[in-house]
Amino acid sequence: MQSVGIYEAKTRFSALIEMVEQGEEVRITRHGKEVVRMLPVRRKPVITDEQIARELEQISALQQTVKAQAATDSIANLRHTGRSQA
């Protein structure tokens, strides 16, 4: 990671872009405080095929749970449960 001031960043902008393209992070500061962070664009997918498959399995399991719950709860039972016993 490299940190540079705004003036230096203006004068070396092309070189800084090349550094970022090579995978390095560049931070630009104003009066010693970070104001910009330049990061390389990710070329790989953020989520893997395994993660997608795992998420789909969890969604399917949740759908089965909801279907099972709906089958046991009839409309009459739900209506009765919602009424107070006053």
Q: Where exactly are the structural domains of the chain?
A: 2-38, 49-82
DSSP 12-73: THHHHHHHHHTT--EEEEETTEEEEEE-PPP-S-SS-HHHHHHHHHHHHHHHHHHHHHHHH-
The CATH topology of domain 2-38 is YefM-like fold (3.40.1620)
21-79: per-residue pLDDT in tens?
998 999 999 999 999 999 998 766 678 889 999 999 999 999 988 877 776 667 777 77
Give the per-residue pLDDT at 86.
54
Q: What torsion, rounded to 10 degrees, do the Cα atoms 33, 35, 41, 47 define?
A: 80
State the DSSP H helix or E strand holding residue 7, giving kind and residue range, or none if neither.
Answer: helix 6-11
Structure tokens at 67: 């279907």
